[in-house]
């Protein structure tokens, strides 16, 4: 068998990335950079949303619920950001 089934060749490089054993594609160059930047921006956006919740909770009358949601949202954003930094893409 020569590694072909129909018109599909297996175990060779393709435009989107190199085939791996688990069926996932490796991203190259600018695609990997865009994915990294997008992951950081999403994490920072989550942290920003938490800051907005805290500011909204302290604006006119202090709302414990808003401040609690803000703190939890910031915690989730920080965990997401630290996970991406640790992954070190």
Give the tens place of pLDDT for each residue, 10-66.
555 555 555 555 555 555 678 888 888 899 999 999 999 999 999 988 887 778 888
- Residue 18 or 88, more confident: 88
Predicted pLDDT of residue 50:
94
Interhelix angle 64-87/29-58, rounded to 10 degrees, is: 160
Q: How many domains does the chain have?
A: 1
Predicted pLDDT of residue 2:
55
For residue 52, how many other CB atoms are within 10 A of its CB?
13
Range of the domain at 68: 4-87
Radius of gyration of the chain (CA): 22
Predicted pLDDT of residue 46:
95
Residue 17 backbone class (left: φ over 0; alpha: ψ -120 to 50; beta: rest): left
**pTM of this prediction?**
0.62
Rounded to whole angstroms, the Cα distance separating 40 from 83 reads 10
In the three-class reduction of DSSP (H, G, I as helix; E, B as strand; rest coil), residue 86 is classed as helix
């Amino acid at each position: 068998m020569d590694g072909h089934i129909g018109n599909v060749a297996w175990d060779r490089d393709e435009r989107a990335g190199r085939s791996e054993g688990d069926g996932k594609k490796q991203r190259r160059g600018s695609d990997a950079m865009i994915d990294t930047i997008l992951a950081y921006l999403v994490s920072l956006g989550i942290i920003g949303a938490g800051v907005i919740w805290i500011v909204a909770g302290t604006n006119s009358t202090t709302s414990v619920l808003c401040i609690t949601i803000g703190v939890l949202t910031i915690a989730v954003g920080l965990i997401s950001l630290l996970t991406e930094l640790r992954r070190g893409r």
